[in-house]
Amino acid sequence: MAIPLKTARLELRSIRESDLSAFTQIVGNPRVAMPAGFQPVHNEFEARFLMRQTLGQRWIWGITRQAEDQIIGTVGLYGRTGHDGALVHGERDIGYMLNENFWGHGYMPEAVMAVLTYGFDQGLQAVWGSYFSDNERSARIFERFGFQFDHEIQHSATDFFAPGKTERFFRLTPNDFALHQ
């Protein structure tokens, strides 16, 4: 279970089975799913499959507005795998998505700040992340918190999730994060 985190306007908590309807609305929207790196779901059955991968996870949170218990998004620090396929100790990958109805209110930067602070307080040595080059919202978040560019890849034209897209990869250390507070 994720440790609950609180910000000025948000509460971050573990994702629950009762979140299925709100989760389906988020992951069923192509404008949310595609930038997050997956195909949108078509129904609650498919959404349940995705959601079950998050249930009970220590490093994945549902984002709710205070005094409302309905999730409006998710944010997580996912296990990072190295070139050999093994988990990299002390490093995580950040991933997030937000219901489109709540874009433009500063909720995601607020949630990301809480999760990064928590992660570095827990001893993480680095947080990695990536976004497609046309995702200006994620670019602003990465810039705001001090993520440093590492490399980029060009997905092939036949790639299932991101045909022909450029994906940019970034790394954030505790020192870089502290400089951007």
- Tens-digit pLDDT profile for residues 102-135: 999 999 999 999 999 999 999 999 999 999 999 9
CA distances (Å), origin 132, targets 2, 146, 179: 28, 18, 25
Highest mean pLDDT among 27-31, 33-37, 53-57: 27-31
Q: Average pLDDT, stretch 167-177?
A: 97
How many angstroms separate the most distant Cα atoms in the chain? 45
The pLDDT score that the predictor gives to residue 38 is 87
Q: Contact at 8 Å (CB) between 114 and 7?
A: yes
SS3 24: helix
Q: Average pLDDT, stretch 48-67?
A: 94
The pLDDT score that the predictor gives to residue 163 is 87
Residue identified by tokens 């129904």 is 43
The pLDDT score that the predictor gives to residue 162 is 82
Q: What is the pLDDT of residues 37-54, one digit of tens each?
A: 889 999 999 999 999 989
The pLDDT score that the predictor gives to residue 181 is 81
Q: Average pLDDT, stretch 64-92?
A: 94
The more confidently predicted of residues 14 and 56 is 14
Tell me the two tokens of residue 96.
């997030």
Contacts 24+ apart (CB under 8 A), 119-126: 119/59, 119/77, 119/92, 120/174, 120/177, 123/90, 124/77, 124/90, 124/91, 124/92, 124/174, 125/90, 125/91, 125/173, 125/174, 126/90, 126/91, 126/92, 126/171, 126/172, 126/173
pLDDT band at residue 159 using 50, 70 and 90 as cut-offs: confident
DSSP string, 73-125: EEEEEEEEE-TTSSEEEEEEEEEEEE-GGGTTSSHHHHHHHHHHHHHHHTT-S
Tell me the two tokens of residue 169.
């990869």
CA distances (Å), origin 69, targets 62, 136, 157, 177: 10, 29, 41, 30
**DSSP secondary structure code for residue 168 in this structure:** E
Percent of the chain with pLDDT over 90: 86
Count of other CB atoms within 10 angstroms of residue 8: 8
The C-alpha atoms of residue 72 and residue 56 are separated, in whole angstroms, by 18
